[in-house]
Amino acid sequence: MKFFVDTADVKDIRELNDLGLLDGVTTNPSLILKAGRDIVEVTKEICSIVEGPVSAEVTATEYSAMMKEAAALSKIADNICIKLPLTLDGLKACKALTSDGHQTNVTLCFSANQALLAAKAGATFVSPFIGRLDDIAVDGMDLIREIRQIFDNYGYETEILAASVRTVNHVKEAALIGADVVTAPPATLKALVKHPLTDKGLEMFLADWAKTGQKIA
């Protein structure tokens, strides 16, 4: 499973990348707002840190304007993945951009039929939003399951990018179902390592080791 981090915070991205945990980055207009930086400047910096795809989202809602924004975003770096909303115009732009050799991420996916359309448009990634479905009392994980089955039924190569991930259990369940990628906030990715028995066990080993009076090397 690939791990993307869902942030435009360069410090967090650098830290996770240095740990060797990152396969890519996803950003969105809200995350750019949170970072408080110019989209081109911050995206360029992110692309220089991470080798994998960096999703940068268009903000236009009409096809021609989306294509214009996509052209500007794709000039930032070779690893830019153009993020498009799951609308008819977004799907049309996805088809055109994919045919032109660009990586695409169709975002704001909340139903299996929407994901099917994204696959038919040739999207590199489709982003079903787990947490936002959970927020309205719909099981977001059921959507990942349905999309996995549909893509497997037809051999679609579009990768399922589980998004709007809020908990470590979301990551585990998405992995069990077979999502290709998970994008999660930095804190959630770092929390994956945590287990109280690991901390307790390490504490005990270190205490016993100190009692031996030995040193390695």
Stretch that binds ligand E4P, among 69-77, 129-137, 192-200, 209-217 (CB under 6 A): 129-137
Active site residue 120: no
Task: Give Dmax (Cα) for the chain.
Answer: 71
The token duo for 163 is: 């998004």
Structure tokens at 118: 């994204």
Q: Which span sits near ligand E4P by CB under 6 A: 16-24, 125-133, 147-155, 199-207? A: 125-133
Beta strand spans in 11-71 (E): 24-26, 54-57
Q: Which of 127, 143, 156, 158 binds ligand E4P (CB under 6 A)?
A: 127
Stretch near ligand E4P under the rule CB under 6 A, chosen from 43-51, 123-131, 172-180, 188-196: 123-131
Return d(Cα 155, Cα 152) in angstroms, integer: 5
Asked whether the beta carbons of 161 and 180 are under 8 A apart, the reply is yes
Does 163 engage in binding with ligand E4P (CB under 6 A)? yes
Number of other CB atoms surrounding residue 139 within 10 Å = 12
- What does the block give as tokens for 66? 């989306």
52 binds ligand E4P (CB under 6 A): no
Distance linking the first and last C-alpha atoms of the chain: 37
Question: For the window 3-42, what string marks contact with ligand E4P as x by the rule CB under 6 A?
Answer: ---x-------------------x-x--------------
Give me the active site residues, please: 83
What does the binding site for ligand E4P look like in residue numbers (CB under 6 A)? 6, 26, 28, 107, 127, 129, 131-132, 163-164, 183
